[in-house]
């Protein structure tokens, strides 16, 4: 029998597989169970999510052990797909900045994340589904996010909004991004 934390996986819907394990939607459709490939991955992510439990950008964790975790289900659309379909609004751009600022406020060393792990909600709020290495790898600006926005053709619009709303961040991020593109 496939039971984890009392959950029968046969009654759940498989929704994805990544580098760290498999994710299943529970029958209540409000929670997921993630079954990890390693103890280290499970406990590391649990520790991180517990440390940000009051941060609205991260899913709530309900329970975990050495091999799996039950946490809040994050519906929505991956930010890449969302921007391709709807474009980049001012609200979404500001929410991206607020997400990165929340990383800084939480003491993360890595102020970046793969866009595939950012999900946009119907009201254009955003949530992170798979945070990793936030306390280990040092990245001082959202390089991957800016690179993705650049590929989508939305970087000039994002930078214009950033310059109006957060001029100091604009100078910092633009300088670092331009430098990284020259390498």
Give the tens place of pLDDT for each residue, 66-91: 999 999 999 999 999 999 999 999 99
Contact of 78 with 116, CB cutoff 8 Å = yes
Q: pLDDT at position 12, please?
A: 96
Judge if 176 and 94 occupy the same domain: yes
Judge if 86 and 162 occupy the same domain: yes
Of how many residues is the chain composed? 183
Judge if 24 and 102 occupy the same domain: no
Domain that holds residue 146: 77-182
Give the tens place of pLDDT for each residue, 56-71: 999 999 999 999 999 9
Judge if 13 and 63 occupy the same domain: yes
In whole angstroms, give the CA distance from residue 75 to residue 123.
Answer: 12
The tally of domains found in the chain comes to 2
153 pLDDT more than 90:
yes
Judge if 88 and 140 occupy the same domain: yes
Judge if 143 and 162 occupy the same domain: yes
């Amino acid at each position: 029998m496939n039971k984890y934390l009392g959950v029968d996986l046969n009654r759940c819907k498989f929704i994805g597989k990544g580098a760290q394990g498999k994710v299943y939607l529970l029958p209540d459709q409000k929670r997921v169970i993630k079954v990890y490939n390693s103890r280290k991955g499970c406990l590391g992510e649990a520790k991180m999510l517990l440390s940000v439990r009051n941060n609205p950008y991260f899913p709530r964790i309900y329970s975990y052990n050495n091999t799996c975790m039950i946490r809040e289900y994050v519906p929505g659309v991956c930010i890449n797909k969302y921007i391709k379909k709807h474009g980049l609004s001012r609200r979404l751009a500001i929410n991206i900045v607020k997400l990165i600022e929340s990383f800084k406020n939480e003491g993360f060393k890595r102020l970046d994340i793969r866009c595939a792990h950012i999900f946009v909600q119907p009201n254009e709020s955003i949530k992170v589904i798979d945070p990793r290495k936030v306390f280990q790898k040092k990245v001082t600006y959202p390089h991957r996010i800016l690179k993705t926005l650049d590929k989508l053709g939305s970087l000039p619009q994002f930078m214009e909004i950033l310059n109006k709303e957060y001029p100091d961040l604009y100078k910092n991020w633009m300088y670092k991004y331009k430098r990284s593109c020259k390498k």
